[in-house]
Structure 1
């Protein structure tokens, strides 16, 4: 969708053309001046949309996906907002005004020696999952955009690969067609709209039929978005598994 500046640029162009024909070709002058007014009107409407959007709250949840990290406390601008978040835990969505935030993640109950310290920019009207990923030797906080809106009567699903030692994978129906192809560590698929169903899925090494993880009994209800997250170690403990999250 074009923004206010795009429309203002168009309006300025048509204003120049209207001036060019003002005395030599009155009908062309009127034609381009009407276009100038049209795009001025579009710019005003775009400005109103952008102002409305800037006032919309944002929603942020935190996922602990670091298999060898302890439980953690999460601080937002030096205020603790989540306590004792264990591996595989995901918080409820926090409602936040748009803006820049400093996030610190500490071992639970300590408040010293951050595991992760990161500045994040939260845009208005967006829904985020912030995932702590990697291993304790190399930790990151990654933002993933959630899109909870679903066409009426449908379901939709995406996949996020958060296992630090697993290869790139395809996600497919058990023994059948591929749903998501070649998703590497820290990558997310796009959402896929589906008819509500229950289905058995599996993760396979990308481009092969070699299964690395069963994802059984995935129930997709109408009017709901879902995210499958692969986490844990492919070779070690805690072992590789899949979480089915709403959103």
Structure 2
């Protein structure tokens, strides 16, 4: 596995690209392994991201452990294909940890434009919309684990709203997000609308893919 600069997301035709994000709404910090190779250099806390890195295509075993142990909490087979770009998310609570692997269809935006998508990763949220503040929606009706396509938008500073699809209520406002030209972004909902114990509360996160 090889590191990859954020401004160069295109994989070699004989390689794949993968990013990893911890969206599990707990206080736990995790290490992630592909086969027996640890992917992260420091343990991934809630919202922690490993930017795109190159890896040989094929079948892998993805193993998740706590920071202090090598005992597997989650072990699943993962398949990566030549020339494709992927994002992997840790989702669910400790009793129901899971992976969500998404094939990222990233293209170069037009001049003065950028791409953005929305993924609902809040376990107890109903369907959600992502919208510009007091304006049109970027993505609509995304149930838990559902991802929108990338949408091309003008590059400028935005305030985004994550809304309940049914009621229109704003669940989270993301202020002054500087969307830069030529870049690609993923906005996720994360955390619990009704947290218990040490669970993280509902929030949003902007991830720069490239």
TM-score, normalized by length of structure 1?
0.74
Deviation at 1:69, TM superposition (A): 5.1
Deviation at 1:147, TM superposition (A): 3.5
2:156 to 197, 218, 229: 197
Q: Radius of gyration: which is bigger? A: 1
Task: Give the corresponding residue for 1:23.
Answer: none
Task: Give the corresponding residue for 2:200.
Answer: 238
Task: Give the corresponding residue for 1:219.
Answer: 178
Which structure has more helix as a fraction of its residues? 1
Task: Give the corresponding residue for 1:138.
Answer: 96
Is it true that 1:119 corresponds to 2:77 in the alignment?
A: yes
Which structure has more strand as a fraction of its residues? 2
Task: Give the corresponding residue for 1:31.
Answer: none
Q: Partners of 2:73 and 2:53 in 1: how far apart?
A: 21
Deviation at 1:94, TM superposition (A): 2.1
Tell me, what secondary structure is at the counterpart of 1:91? strand
Whether the 8 Å CA contact 2:22–2:91 is kept in 1: the answer is yes
Tell me, what secondary structure is at the counterpart of 1:137? helix
Deviation track 1:82-127 (CA, whole Å, cap 9, x = no partner) reads 2411111011222101111111111112111x12101011011111
Task: Give the corresponding residue for 2:64.
Answer: 105
Q: Could you say which structure has the greater relative contact order, defined with CA pairs below 8 angstroms and 6 or more residues apart?
A: 2
2:32 to 74, 77, 88: 74
Deviation at 1:54, TM superposition (A): 9.2
Deviation at 1:193, TM superposition (A): 0.7
TM-score, normalized by length of structure 2?
0.86
Tell me, what secondary structure is at the counterpart of 1:165? coil
Task: Give the corresponding residue for 2:7.
Answer: none
Whether the 8 Å CA contact 1:69–1:136 is kept in 2: the answer is no
